[in-house]
Structure 1
Amino acid sequence: MKSAITVLREQIEAFYLVRRLSLYELKSQNNNNYLGMLWELLNPGIQIAIYWFVFGYAIRGNDRAVGDIAFFPWLLVGLIVWFFVNPSITQGSKSIYSRIKVIAKMSFPLSVIPTYVIFSRLYSHLLLLAISIIMLQFLGFPVSIYYLQLPYFIFATLALLVSISILTSALATIVRDVQMIVQSLMRMLLYLTPILWERDLPGIAGLLIKLNPFYYLVEGYRASLLYEEWLIFERWEFTLYFWGVVLFIFLIGSSVHVKFRRHFVDYL
């Protein structure tokens, strides 16, 4: 618990620095591209089109709806979450060992490195989310009072991503194989989250999907933008389960990070 309090305090005290570094990180990622920041929209746009064709027509046939929701807006909202989650976790897990030689010379806590990497992805996520909301207005899903849930689910997503990345970034610095394991798990996670498949699958598949904490986040975004449900309250058991998972991962990650961070340089 002491380690968790230490890491949480570092996140709060260095928040201004996190914002500045995250903006620098975002710009540096696109400096060498002719189209620059435009790739933050083009890349997910191309992927959405591919997933829509493959899963909407080739597999499902004739773009069949999911319940009362047309497949495209249902898929769009799920992928917007995935395009935030996937790079945040993969880049967050290697954030410390790939930057520590430079960062170690500066005076700020190592625990904020994964955080500012994740925040650099947040800006792209918010832009994609805004564009998606505009598109949804033309697809029959107008702005509603349920949008008030969105800030909560964005914060919940950040909390889970930071907790995971604090743990994986420490482990990946100690054992490089962890980074490869994370990348493999992320490929599995896409299919264990109701992004491409319906949430109510039968048997063990449905149970595994609902035990996945990202299930809560994806369904939360859809509840806000499509379903018009107060997911936080109507499925309060999932809310409690989600925050229990976040707290558990944060406690473990903080403990590992604080215990080994003095020796991170030795593992390079």
Structure 2
Amino acid sequence: MNSALTVINEQVKYFYLVRRLSLYEMKSSNTNNYLGMLWELLNPAIQISIYWFVFGFGIRNRVGEGGIDFFPWMLSGIVVWFMINQGLLQASKSVYTKIKMLSKMNFPMSVIPNYVIFSKLYPHLMLLALVIIILSLLGFPVNIYYLQLPLYIIGVLLLLYAISLITSTLSTIVRDVQMLLQSVLRMLLYLSPILWDVSRIDQEWLRVIMKINPFYYIVEGYRTSLLGQGWYFIDEWQYTLYFVGVVVGLFIIGSALHVKFRRHFIDFL
């Protein structure tokens, strides 16, 4: 528990640095591209088009309890996946890829995965704004349930950071962890309710197992907000408590690992 409090204090104390470094990270990653930041929208657009073509024509045209067309249903859920995927992959290798460059700067190493995740927040907000416009044109206007979106945005940031404390530590010690994470994320894309409707599963026990995945909660939270389907965090209050418990548990484990091994990170480079 002391490790968790240490990491929390470090994030609060150096939050100004997290903001500055995250902006720098976002700009530097697009410096050599002619289209610059536009690629932060083009890449997701291309992937969404592919998924819509493959899955939109490969399954029934309407999904969910309200018989919603597949495209807006998929769009409202997949919008957060790009931040999850890129945030975890980049944050998990952030320590061993950036520690040499940042070793002379005076700030704790726990800040490194945090600012990398924050650098993915800005493109996510731009993509979210674009998705909101598209959904409005498709008949899903801005509604009162948008007020709960900040809760899910904060939730996914906390979840990503908690996981990245674990994965960035393990990846620094054993590089194979990064390759394993890439495979796990490919699998999670299909185990989360992004490209297909989990409610179609007849077996109740299998649906419960699917919900063990905390990203399920985030995706469904985004979807109910953007499509105006209800107050998800209230309607599914038991699942909300489970999600909070998972985040807290992962954060405690990640903080303990990070604080224990960070003095030795340089030895593994």
**TM-score range with shorter-chain normalisation?**
over 0.9
* Aligned equivalent of 2:84: 85
The 5 Å alignment of 1:218-233 reads 218-233=219-234
The 5 Å alignment of 1:12-31 reads 12-31=12-31
The 8 Å contact of residues 22 and 115 in structure 2, kept in 1 or not, is answered as: yes
Q: Which whole-Å deviations, capped at 9, do the CAs of 1:158-190 have from their partners, x for residues lacking one?
A: 010010011110111011111111111101110
* Distance in 2 between residues matched to 1:193 and 1:65, nearest whole Å: 15
- Residues 1:131 and 2:157 are matched in the alignment: no
* Distance in 1 between residues matched to 2:148 and 2:220, nearest whole Å: 12
Secondary structure of the corresponding residue to residue 195 of structure 1: coil
* Aligned equivalent of 2:109: 110
* Distance in 2 between residues matched to 1:81 and 1:117, nearest whole Å: 16
The 8 Å contact of residues 170 and 256 in structure 1, kept in 2 or not, is answered as: yes
- Residues 1:199 and 2:198 are matched in the alignment: yes
Secondary structure of the corresponding residue to residue 191 of structure 1: helix
Residue 88 of structure 1 aligns with an amino acid whose one-letter code is G
The 8 Å contact of residues 56 and 64 in structure 1, kept in 2 or not, is answered as: no
How far the C-alpha of 1:227 sits from its partner, in A, is 4.1
The 8 Å contact of residues 91 and 117 in structure 1, kept in 2 or not, is answered as: yes
Residue 6 of structure 1 aligns with an amino acid whose one-letter code is T
* Aligned equivalent of 1:36: 36
Over the aligned positions, Cα root-mean-square deviation in angstroms equals 1.1
Unaligned segments of structure 2, at least 5 residues: none
* Distance in 2 between residues matched to 1:197 and 1:206, nearest whole Å: 13
* Aligned equivalent of 1:214: 215
Secondary structure of the corresponding residue to residue 64 of structure 2: coil
* Aligned equivalent of 1:159: 158
* Distance in 1 between residues matched to 2:72 and 2:64, nearest whole Å: 10
How far the C-alpha of 1:225 sits from its partner, in A, is 1.1
The 8 Å contact of residues 192 and 208 in structure 1, kept in 2 or not, is answered as: no
Aligned length: 266
How far the C-alpha of 1:202 sits from its partner, in A, is 2.7
* Aligned equivalent of 2:265: 264
The 8 Å contact of residues 44 and 83 in structure 1, kept in 2 or not, is answered as: yes
Residue 264 of structure 1 aligns with an amino acid whose one-letter code is F
* Distance in 2 between residues matched to 1:202 and 1:218, nearest whole Å: 21
Secondary structure of the corresponding residue to residue 94 of structure 2: coil
Residue 49 of structure 2 aligns with an amino acid whose one-letter code is A
* Distance in 2 between residues matched to 1:178 and 1:65, nearest whole Å: 36
* Aligned equivalent of 1:177: 176
How far the C-alpha of 1:209 sits from its partner, in A, is 1.7
The 8 Å contact of residues 140 and 228 in structure 2, kept in 1 or not, is answered as: no
How far the C-alpha of 1:67 sits from its partner, in A, is 3.2
Residue 66 of structure 1 aligns with an amino acid whose one-letter code is G
* Aligned equivalent of 2:239: 238
* Distance in 1 between residues matched to 2:209 and 2:50, nearest whole Å: 26
